[in-house]
Amino acid sequence: MVSEGVLLGMGNPLLDISAVVDDGFLHKYDIKLNNAILAEDKHLPMYDEMAKNYSVDYIAGGATQNSIRVAQWMLQIPGATTFIGCVGKDKFGEEMKKNAKLAGVNVHYYEDENAGTGTCAVCVVGGERSLIANLSAANCYKSDHLKQPENWALVEKAEYFYIAGFFLTVSPESIQLVAEHAAANNKMFMMNLSAPFICEFFKDAQEKVLPYMDIVFGNETEARTFSKVHGWEVKFLLPCVFTILYIV
């Protein structure tokens, strides 16, 4: 039987703001279709403008949170999944919380008063789209929040943990705490390589937590970069979306 809180995820929550826009909007913010970028200063006003002038759909997104929402949909038991991350204390944060709870996920966000909720604009024109991500508060998670009794109780309750590699850039200490707990209590700890740059530029943080991972997920490009960074020779890889690389 699947129990409440059995799966816990930690990561960078981003509120996807999706709307069909027009060419004028693309031109105003210098947006190219079929592209994905991090927001620059010139893009920052676009999120409020989309919410004000277009019919938008809000989706509780971000790599880990998306995976947790899918798992929740599959499990079909309200509160079977839990997600922890950082949002801003603003209207987008409230929208994220409402959206995630409607999906059945038990969210325990750390609310940062000095940064806005991370957002990702999904601009659609003629069936094509462009993604512009503004991480903002998602970069501000602190392990002190995880250590609070009510939040650590969620860790103790969970039997499975999933964290995207992107979170290594934010709070490696939080990841280490959960990894050590999982190992000490014979629980399943899983991570995703997430992107080649994580393997290249956050190698030390990744290596520190690697021995605790029961399963590591990654696509072919990430796996090749991981292997190159570690000096491994890779002659072939199975052409699958997720490849199990390392099992303790």
Q: What is the pLDDT of residues 109-166, one digit of tens each?
A: 999 999 999 999 999 999 998 889 898 999 999 999 999 999 999 999 999 999 999 9
Torsion of CA 108, 109, 111, 117, to 10 degrees: -150
CA distance 144 to 151: 10
pLDDT category, 230, cuts 50, 70, 90?
confident
CA-atom Rg of the chain in angstroms: 18
**C-alpha pair distances (Å), 31 with each of 22, 25, 42, 81, 122:** 11, 8, 11, 35, 11
**Domains present along the chain, CATH in parentheses:** 7-13+62-117+136-230 (3.40.1190.20)
**pLDDT tens readout for residues 231-248:** 775 554 444 434 334 333
The average confidence (pLDDT) of the chain is: 90
Lookup: tokens for 21: 């826009």
Strands 188-192 and 81-88: unpaired
Q: Give this prediction's pTM.
A: 0.83
Average pLDDT over residues 16-43: 91
